[in-house]
Amino acid sequence: MSANLAQYFDSVIPWEKRLAREMPLLEEIARRAGRRILVPACGTGGHVVALAELGFEVLGLDIDEDALALARRKIAAARSPIAARGGHVEVQLLNMTDGGALGPVYDAALCLGNALPSLSAPGQLLAALHGIAAGLRPGGVFFTQNLNYDRRWKEKTKFFPVLSGQTSDEEVLLVKFAEYEPEFINFHAMFLTRPKTGSAWQSYPRSSRQIPLFRERMIELLTQAGFGGFECWGDYAKTPFDTAQSPDLIVVGEKTNP
């Protein structure tokens, strides 16, 4: 993702509404676990800043340096409220699979925003889960939120609502659609941008392959990675997961291996 695409992605996310919906549960999970919070696939940093402003010690990981550059700007802008609550936050260029390099010291790991299904290469997702587990202390909590692929795979929705936003000098649209193969989903996203002065639109496409990460498969992989004691919800209000109705699959488990 280029620097512009990271910025464009950030511009179409309604961060105020999203954090208002998600942070009550994330704070509940984090406070239940402890103070040190790991956020794999932290992206442009909305969640790591919000957690630090609540007084947590947060480390965000990502492999996109452009997204991390935006995260660092958000951290710098929030330095005063973070310090007032005794929080701390950093972001680091690191693959999920290398979480063991951090030591088994984190109390919770929060993997948000449908990050896991894109780890579609053979063995890649399990390796990432092992890496996250290696960064957690024994009994540490793992929380992940992904789309409800039990429902999506059945409905095979091809087209999705257009998202819109703006940067300081450009209008931004995000168009999304999907193609379904026997074992994977090819997900396509196209950013359309133009200067606010109204000149021609420019397009920036990107594609990724996703695993249809059904609940049964998610639990199986987490068990193999050393987690147990699972709870499953269908949204951030902790509604029980329903394969036919829930918009999301949220899974919470604890590290059971030393």
CB atoms within 10 A of CB 158: 10
Among the listed ranges 2-16, 71-85, 188-202, 224-238, which one has the minimum average pLDDT value?
2-16
Interatomic CA distance for residues 61 and 206, integer angstroms: 22
Give dist(CA 14, CA 165) in Å, integer: 9
In the chain, the amino acid numbered 32 is R
The number of beta carbons lying within 10 Å of the beta carbon of residue 169 is 9
- For 39, the token pair is 């956020």
- Both tokens of 198, joined, read 């109204």
Cα-based distances in Å from 97 to 73, 129, 134, 224:
26, 7, 9, 15
Residues 6+ apart with CB under 8 A from 199: none
Band of pLDDT at residue 199, cut at 50, 70 and 90 = confident
What residue segments make up the domains of the chain, in order of their start?
3-148+211-255, 152-210
CB 129 within 8 A of CB 40: no
The DSSP call for residue 10 is: H
Per-residue pLDDT tens for 126-171? 999 999 999 999 999 999 999 999 999 999 999 999 999 999 999 9
Write down the pLDDT at residue 2.
47
Taking domain 3-148+211-255, whether its CATH number is 3.40.50.150 is answered by yes
pTM for this model (two decimals): 0.95
Same topology, domains 3-148+211-255 and 152-210? Answer is no
CATH 3.40.980.10 fits 152-210, yes or no: no
- Which of these, 53, 54, 47, lies nearest to 19 by C-alpha position? 47
| 39, 144 contact by CB (below 8 A) | no
